[in-house]
């Protein structure tokens, strides 16, 4: 099944006109014909089944025949991660995390962060493409980048299991032991140089539990994928 996306779709809509870019893709690349069935989502959990009324490359039009509400992930995972120095590694993380299953992503600026400028519009396109490819109907939310301290303060009252993954030689618990099936989690993953000692101390003072991802030292994006997979796997039926 091929999934198309329109953020403006509502369950009450009877028709939808695609953008010029998407229309060209439907008519010229996929060569869809009038009467073909298309599947669409708004990224908010709705799956629309529609019939192609016009395959004009400049403006394809569909009639909505059915709307089905899909269940969200059985867990919540808000991952706060320091963007990697090499941008393609962070983009790889966004793609794979979306495919595996994640609900929120916040890029954070830490003391040891080497990348201080990000491309949110490009990141959003990567998430959109990965969500469509992996047939996700609830798209993860990408938040604006903020400082480590600001993130902790914004999430201070969030009723989540709060964890910080770091490499410091202090007491930590295994990530596996701290994951709560069907629970909501906020997990922090630091930059290539790890979180600084003051950052770890601050997070701990604000209710974050230090966790280990295993014996091996991992790259930032690898550590983030381990987190995503661990939470997803813990929620498998």
pLDDT digits (tens, 9 = 90+) for 86-104: 999 999 999 999 999 999 9
- Is residue 237 scored above 70 in pLDDT? no
Contact 196, 36 (CB under 8 A): no
Q: What is the pLDDT of residue 91?
A: 97
Q: What are the backbone angles phi and psi of residue 27, rounded to the nearest 5°?
A: -85, -40
Show which of 46, 69, 92 is a domain's final residue: 69
Q: What is the pLDDT of residue 21?
A: 87
Q: Which residue from 165, 164, 160 is spatially nearest to 180, judged by alpha carbons?
A: 160
Show which of 42, 69, 96 is a domain's final residue: 69
Band (197; pLDDT cuts 50, 70, 90): very high
Q: What is the pLDDT of residue 48?
A: 97
The CA-based angle 175-172-183, given to 5 degrees, is 35
- How far is residue 56's CA from residue 62's CA, in Å, rounded to a whole number? 11
Same domain, 56 and 113: no
Show which of 45, 69, 93 is a domain's final residue: 69
CATH code for the domain of 126? 3.40.1280.10
Same domain, 35 and 119: no
Residue pLDDT, tens place only, 16-35: 999 898 899 999 999 999 99
Q: What are the backbone angles phi and psi of residue 127, rounded to the nearest 5°?
A: -60, -45
Domain of 58? 3-69
- How far is residue 43's CA from residue 209's CA, in Å, rounded to a whole number? 32
Q: How many domains is the chain partitioned into structurally?
A: 2
What does 167-184 look like in DSSP terms, one character per residue? --SS--EEHHHH--TT-E
User: What is the C-alpha radius of gyration for the chain, rounded to an integer number of angstroms?
Assistant: 20
Same domain, 24 and 104: no
CATH code for the domain of 48? 2.40.240.20
Q: What is the pLDDT of residue 131?
A: 97
Over residues 185-191, mean pLDDT: 97
- pTM for the structure as a whole: 0.93
Q: What is the pLDDT of residue 166?
A: 95
Same domain, 100 and 62: no
Q: What is the pLDDT of residue 121?
A: 96
Residue pLDDT, tens place only, 129-171: 999 999 999 999 999 999 999 999 999 998 999 999 999 888 8
- How far is residue 155's CA from residue 158's CA, in Å, rounded to a whole number? 5
Residue pLDDT, tens place only, 6-17: 988 999 999 999
Contact 178, 209 (CB under 8 A): yes
Q: What is the pLDDT of residue 215?
A: 87
Band (236; pLDDT cuts 50, 70, 90): confident
Same domain, 162 and 203: yes
Please report, in angstroms and rounded to a whole number, the separation of the first and last CA atoms in the chain.
Answer: 24
Same domain, 48 and 91: no
Same domain, 105 and 206: yes
- How far is residue 55's CA from residue 31's CA, in Å, rounded to a whole number? 8
Q: What is the pLDDT of residue 110?
A: 97
- Is residue 173 scored above 90 in pLDDT? yes
Q: Which residue from 237, 226, 218 is spatially nearest to 102, judged by alpha carbons?
A: 226
Q: Which residues pair with 209 in a beta bridge?
A: 163
Band (37; pLDDT cuts 50, 70, 90): very high
Angle between helices 220-234 and 87-100 (to 10 degrees): 0
Same domain, 99 and 189: yes
């Amino acid at each position: 099944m091929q999934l198309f996306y329109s953020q403006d779709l509502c369950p009450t809509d009877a028709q939808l006109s695609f953008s010029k870019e998407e229309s060209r893709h439907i008519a010229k690349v996929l060569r869809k014909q009038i009467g073909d069935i298309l599947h669409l989502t708004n990224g908010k959990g709705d799956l629309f089944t529609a019939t192609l009324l016009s395959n004009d490359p400049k403006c394809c039009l569909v009639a909505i025949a059915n709307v089905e509400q899909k269940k969200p992930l059985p867990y919540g995972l808000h991952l706060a991660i320091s963007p990697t120095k090499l941008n393609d590694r962070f983009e790889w993380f966004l793609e794979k995390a979306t495919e595996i299953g994640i609900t929120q992503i916040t890029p954070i600026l830490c003391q040891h962060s080497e990348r201080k400028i990000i491309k949110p519009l490009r990141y959003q396109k990567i998430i959109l493409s990965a969500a469509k490819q992996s047939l996700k109907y609830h798209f993860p939310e990408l938040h604006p980048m903020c400082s480590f301290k600001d993130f902790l303060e914004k999430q201070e009252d969030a009723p989540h299991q709060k964890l910080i993954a770091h490499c410091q030689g202090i007491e930590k618990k295994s990530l596996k032991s701290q994951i709560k099936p069907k629970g909501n989690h906020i997990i922090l993953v630091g930059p290539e140089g790890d979180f600084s000692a003051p950052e770890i101390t601050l997070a701990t003072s604000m209710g974050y539990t230090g966790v280990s991802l295993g014996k091996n030292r991992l790259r930032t994006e690898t550590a983030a994928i381990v987190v995503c997979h661990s939470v997803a796997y813990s929620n498998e039926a």
